[in-house]
């Protein structure tokens, strides 16, 4: 096989990059991403037949908070290959170049959120990523729309960030920067949903095209995802969201406890940080993955 050529995209290739996005992920997020985040310096393509065949993006994402430590992080996002070029190693080459780009650009921690269990195994074997982030995830069907007296408020990215950080104190997590949260708002605007607060709780809501409402981040003070019956705060929050966004099914994500949850995201670190003990935490919280 010929050597794989990776590089930054040319200006005239942006329409092709948009087409790869739409053909792989559909149109959701495409316009918002290219308007809000696209930066050719943080984009790597792999060539086939002198054209971009695989593309991936590096997104500055905020800081990983581990106790008193904060580490700048970037996310690898929306890696995609045209169908006729899959299985040729182009995706691996792009991801490895994006990792190098992150380290050179001052991001010693790189994260990503695989879309399937198979991809967790792939990234682990091919690129050095390791499982690190976990989530408790619950699917609820036929949730009754009850009369809800709690006052739910849609809030902006800055307000959400303040509330979120208060609720995540003591939990190893990614502290998203405001720019990342503003992109999440754009996705919520496209799909229906938003960033919400009830009293001391907050949530990110998206209405997916298949009719399922995703509560992508459900944060309450001490309210765990399988304890709705005991947690009035969680019940109030869920009831308010059901009233605003009635659906047949809800997917809810919440920070996991030790021994609980499913793997959700991965981490790789620069050589200087690989042996740091703060990265031994077993259930860090990723938050929004723009999935």
CATH number of domain containing 145 = 3.40.630.30
Predicted local confidence at residue 236, as pLDDT: 80
Q: How far is 219 from 253, CA to CA, in rounded Å?
A: 9
The per-residue pLDDT of the chain, averaged, comes to 90
Q: In this structure, are 129 and 139 located in the same domain? A: no
pLDDT tens for residues 22-71? 999 999 999 999 999 999 999 999 999 989 999 999 999 999 998 888 99
Residues 245 and 269 grouped into a single domain = no
Contacts of 81 (CB under 8 A, 6+ apart): 20, 24, 46, 53, 54, 90, 91
203: helix, strand or coil: strand
Q: Are residues 228 and 272 in the same domain?
A: no
Q: pLDDT-derived band of residue 237, with 50, 70 and 90 as boundaries?
A: confident
Quote the CA–CA distance of 27 and 192 in Å, as a whole number.
15
Q: Are residues 97 and 70 in the same domain?
A: yes
Confidence tier at 230 by pLDDT (50, 70, 90):
low
Specify the pLDDT at position 146: 63
Alpha carbon distance 102, 44 (integer Å):
11
288 domain residue, yes or no? no
Do 98 and 207 lie in one domain? The reply is: no
Find the domain containing 148 and state its range: 135-255
Q: pLDDT, tens digit, for every residue of 129-152?
A: 999 999 999 898 877 666 665 678
pLDDT in tens, 74-124: 999 999 999 999 999 999 999 999 999 999 999 999 999 998 889 999 999
Number of domains composing the chain? 2
Residue 37 is predicted with a pLDDT of: 96
Cβ count within 10 A of residue 117: 10
Quick one: 196 and 92 in the same domain?
A: no
């Amino acid at each position: 096989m010929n050597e794989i050529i990776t590089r930054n995209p040319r200006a005239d290739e942006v329409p092709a990059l948009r087409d790869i996005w739409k053909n792989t992920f559909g149109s959701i997020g495409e316009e918002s991403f290219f308007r809000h985040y696209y930066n050719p310096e943080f984009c790597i393509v792999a060539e086939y037949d002198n054209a971009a065949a695989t593309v991936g993006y590096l997104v500055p994402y905020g800081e990983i908070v581990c106790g008193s430590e904060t580490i700048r992080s970037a996310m690898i996002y929306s890696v995609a290959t045209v169908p006729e070029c899959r299985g040729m190693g182009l995706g691996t080459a792009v991801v490895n170049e994006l990792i190098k780009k992150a380290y050179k650009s001052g991001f010693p921690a790189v994260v990503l959120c695989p879309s399937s269990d198979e991809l967790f195994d792939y990234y682990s074997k091919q690129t050095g990523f390791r499982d690190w982030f976990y989530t408790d995830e619950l699917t609820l069907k036929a949730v009754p729309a009850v009369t809800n007296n709690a006052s739910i408020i849609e809030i902006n990215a800055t307000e959400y960030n303040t509330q979120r950080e208060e609720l995540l104190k003591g939990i190893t997590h990614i502290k998203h920067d405001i720019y990342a949260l503003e992109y999440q708002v754009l996705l919520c605007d496209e799909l229906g949903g938003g960033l919400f607060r009830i009293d001391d709780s907050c949530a990110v809501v998206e209405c997916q095209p298949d009719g399922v409402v995703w509560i992508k981040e459900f944060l309450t003070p001490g309210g765990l995802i399988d304890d709705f019956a005991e947690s009035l705060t969680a019940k109030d929050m869920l009831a308010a969201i059901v009233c605003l966004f009635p659906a047949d099914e809800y997917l809810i994500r919440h920070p996991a406890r030790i021994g609980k949850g499913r793997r959700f995201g991965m981490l790789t670190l620069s050589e200087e940080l690989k042996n740091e003990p703060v990265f031994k935490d077993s259930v860090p919280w990723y938050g929004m993955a723009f999935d």
